Structure 1
């Protein structure tokens, strides 16, 4: 079964994100070998070059490392690095605009905190 991909984003970027997600979710751990390119080609039903390009982005970011002739492995501290990067992106993409809008609406810190807590708990406001 072929995996579905978002047609608005390059597939190699989505491959990179899927591997990174597995590291964040502890499905791949430090010093563990990731599936081979061939295995990923068969699983995702995409070109070998596409898989390699996604993996190489993670190697360039210091998240994965290669052992020549053996395979590709998760770098020590990779999960921590990914979490820190994602937290920064989360703040920039979601929290900052939310706080700016809350300020426009003159919400107090307490009101904003209450709204966030309710949403996080899955309750209606």
Structure 2
């Protein structure tokens, strides 16, 4: 995870998003334990409550589950749930603006898919 924090976004949201991305990218596998709150807090010199808040969001969304005495584990099926949600958000929130820009710049979809005209 990064130690460069964006000033305009709360750290707990950035941590939450990093865990989501690491699950999607396969760096954190389903069934795998998340690092402890204390370990992450010490590693990134962040208040443990900040880490707890990010982890609580993951629990609230049923991405991770607490196993008594062991910690938090990524639930089986979490990657597919995240992937579906992220795709939906991309298509509804980001894609319309991207499509508008593609049309404005008169870019051909084929050239974008082939990486042509990119430097």
Give the TM bin, normalised by the shorter chain. 0.7 to 0.9
Per the TM alignment, residue 122 of structure 1 is displaced from its structure 2 partner at its CA by 6.1
Alignment-derived partner of residue 60 in structure 2:
60
Structure 1 residue ranges (4+ consecutive) displaced by more than 2 angstroms after TM superposition: 97-103, 121-125
Q: TM-score, normalised by structure 2?
A: 0.85
Matched, 1:73 2:69: no
| TM-superposed deviation, 1:35 | 0.6
Match of 2:27 in 1: 27
TM-score for the superposition, normalised by structure 1: 0.81
Q: Deviations over 1:88-117 (max 9, x none)?
A: 1111233222334556x5x6xxx6422432
Equivalent residues in 2 for 1:1-125, closer than 5 Å: 3-100=3-100, 112-118=108-114, 121=115, 123-124=117-118
- When residues 48 and 122 of structure 1 are mapped into structure 2, their CA distance, relative to the original with a 3 A threshold, is farther
Counterparts of 1:34 and 1:41 in 2: how far apart (Å)? 13
Give the length in aligned residue pairs. Answer: 118
Could you say what secondary structure the match of 2:72 adopts?
strand
**Structure 2 unaligned residues grouped into runs of 5+:** none
Where in structure 1 are there 5+ consecutive unaligned residues? Answer: none
Larger Rg: 1
